[in-house]
Amino acid sequence: MAAARPRRRGAGLAVRSLRARLTVGLVTLLALCCVAVGVATTTALEGFLVRRLDQQLTAIGNHFPASLDPALKMSGKGPDTRGQAVGTFGACVLNGRVTQAAVVGDQTESLVPLTEADRRALLAVPGDGTGRTIQLSALRDYRVVGVIGQAGDVLITGLPLEPVKDTVDQLRLVEAIVFGAALLLTGVAGAAWIRLSLRPLHRVAATASRVAQLPLAGGEVAMPPKVPDTDPRTEVGRVGGAFNRMLQHVEDSLARRHASEERLRRFAADASHELRTPVASIRGHAELALRHPEPVPAKVRHSLDRVRCEATRMGELVDDLLLLARLDAGRPIADEPVDLTRLLLDAVSDAQAAGPGHRWTLDLPEEPVLARGDERGLQQVLTNLLANARTHTPPGTAVTVRLGVRRDTAEEIEFLVEDDGPGVPAELRPEIFERFVRSGGDGRARSTGGTGLGLAIAHAVTVAHRGRVELCSRPGRTVFRVVLPRGPEDRAVGSGPCCTPSTSPPCASG
């Protein structure tokens, strides 16, 4: 069975465009008008010529068919063809029988051979002098008139309809040529005029396309220029004016949102910076009190220990907020060669020490894999992903870390953190890389002790390295894939056959 051929997109758009539809509609209406005019004129002309032919038949009388009477032939008198035009037909019907039928030629008359159908057609001609059209097998179409003769016979006189048909056909040909040229010129001129008239609407569509391509989700956005020539007296002008007002509202909303985000970002950065000193001071005083040589009551020691732990946790949160604030501000990161193989070795070793109940597996290529960027930031990405796998899976879960060059392109490096735990809840997957998103039903649940910033930091650091983070999760298998670009000088390293990363497809990306 042959495969269906794909429909060309350009052809469909050309037919569905407003300009094409208006042009086709204009040409179609004009074509219908031309057809109506052509039918009306040809019908009127044909009727006029047939009436003229009936008048001619009345004028020439019945001399020729009357001279075909057999009694006249027996008396030696021949047919009377005086004043008869060439092609004039005559027939005599007596007692329900066609006695004679002839047609006037160039020199003399000639008898017309009649078939049974011809005889029936002639017998059906009444003698009331009314014209009608009959078709004789030997003479084509004729216009005939029958009158009652002196002997009670019906005398039929006819003239050919061929000149009438030739005239009508010639008129149809002329109309077809004239109307065809008019339709062609109208189509070209109409398309140009419609294109000129719809130019403001085209500008509206072009501006809307540019707006649709803008990254409106975040950051400061430069809106395109407004649509010019918005004449409120026209429909297109009113559309352009409404579109300009909508653009102004969007621009004002984006400006207010950007200003609010900037204020919030500065507040977070300033507050985090200001909190570092008192948090460090609280932690230091708590540790100093715990080291006091004199006996400390158990309840006081427990309280001081909790103060120290919470101060440490708050310090980590402050550091995370400061890092995110710096990344949001777009500060440049370091651009130096980073040995990802060594980073993964260290990160997995630390994770194994922190989570001895998990089964850790490290899959590395034989040769080192290098990337360019900030070593400390990439180390934090690895640490956060491994901590996420350790924290949100039960003991005994197998966690596998793989590193290599993407098989489909040698321009990117990827490392994967895969576990066979319960998976990420479906309702959290779309926003898993947002800030302060935690699992456990309540977005602010602290059952695991996390701040909800680990994956957000991993995403922000990866994006700052011009990379991406992808998530594929289902019960029994969760994969976090980090894809990073490679520098030109690093492509010769780690690109051998041993660098074979996982080929599992991503489900979501951040």
State mean pLDDT over 496-500.
Answer: 34
Continuous H helices in 329-437: 340-354, 375-391
pLDDT at 503: 41
pLDDT at 478: 92
pLDDT at 439: 63
pLDDT at 165: 92
pLDDT at 250: 81
The backbone torsions φ and ψ at residue 15, rounded to the nearest 5 degrees and listed phi first, read -75, -35
pLDDT at 176: 92
Residue spans of the domains in the chain: they are 12-58+164-197, 61-160, 215-331, 336-509
The backbone torsions φ and ψ at residue 418, rounded to the nearest 5 degrees and listed phi first, read -120, 135
Q: Residue 388: which region, alpha, beta or left (left: phi > 0; alpha: psi -120 to 50)? A: alpha
Q: Per DSSP, what are the bridge partners of residue 398?
A: 359
Q: Cα–Cα distance between 59 and 147 in angstroms, integer?
A: 13
Q: Cα–Cα distance between 239 and 202 in angstroms, integer?
A: 11
Strand order in the sheet with 154-160: 109-111, 97-104, 89-94, 154-160, 140-148, 132-136
Q: Is 177 a residue whose pLDDT tops 90?
A: yes
Q: Residue type for 274, please?
A: E
- What residues have CB less than 8 Å from 431, skipping those under 6 apart? 437
CB atoms within 10 A of CB 72: 16
pLDDT at 82: 66
Q: Cα–Cα distance between 88 and 99 in angstroms, integer?
A: 17
Q: Which of 64-68, 73-77, 162-166, 421-425 has the lowest mean pLDDT?
A: 73-77
The CATH T-level fold of domain 61-160 is Beta-Lactamase (3.30.450)
Higher pLDDT, 352 or 209: 352
Q: Cα–Cα distance between 337 and 489 in angstroms, integer?
A: 9
Most confidently modeled range among 51-60, 147-156, 209-218: 51-60
Q: Per DSSP, what are the bridge partners of residue 401?
A: 362, 417
Instruction: Calculate the dihedral angle through the C-alpha atoms of 26, 31, 34, 40, rounding to the nearest 10 degrees.
Output: -120
Containing 55, the helix (H) or strand (E) segment is helix 18-60
Q: Is 88 a residue whose pLDDT tops 80?
A: yes
pLDDT at 446: 46
Is 215-331 a CATH 1.10.3470 domain?
no
- Domain boundaries 336-509, corresponding CATH code: 3.30.565.10
- Residue 219: pLDDT band (50, 70, 90) is low
pLDDT at 410: 62
Which tens digit of pLDDT belongs to each residue from 336-368? 888 888 999 998 999 899 889 999 999 888 888
The backbone torsions φ and ψ at residue 54, rounded to the nearest 5 degrees and listed phi first, read -65, -40
Which tens digit of pLDDT belongs to each residue from 408-436? 666 788 889 999 989 888 888 888 888 77
Q: Is 33 a residue whose pLDDT tops 90?
A: yes
Give the pair of three-digit tokens for residue 139.
């003479």
- If you ran DSSP here, which 8-state letter would residue 136 be given? E
- Residue 256: pLDDT band (50, 70, 90) is confident
Q: Cα–Cα distance between 396 and 475 in angstroms, integer?
A: 15
Which tens digit of pLDDT belongs to each residue from 116-134? 888 888 888 888 888 888 8
Find the angle CA(381)-CA(382)-CA(388) to the nearest 5 degrees.
90
- If you ran DSSP here, which 8-state letter would residue 114 be given? -
Percent of the chain whose pLDDT exceeds 70: 81
Q: Cα–Cα distance between 407 and 502 in angstroms, integer?
A: 9
Percent of the chain whose pLDDT exceeds 90: 17
Rg (CA), the chain: 49
- Residue 371: pLDDT band (50, 70, 90) is confident
Q: Tokens 């850790």 — which residue?
A: 360
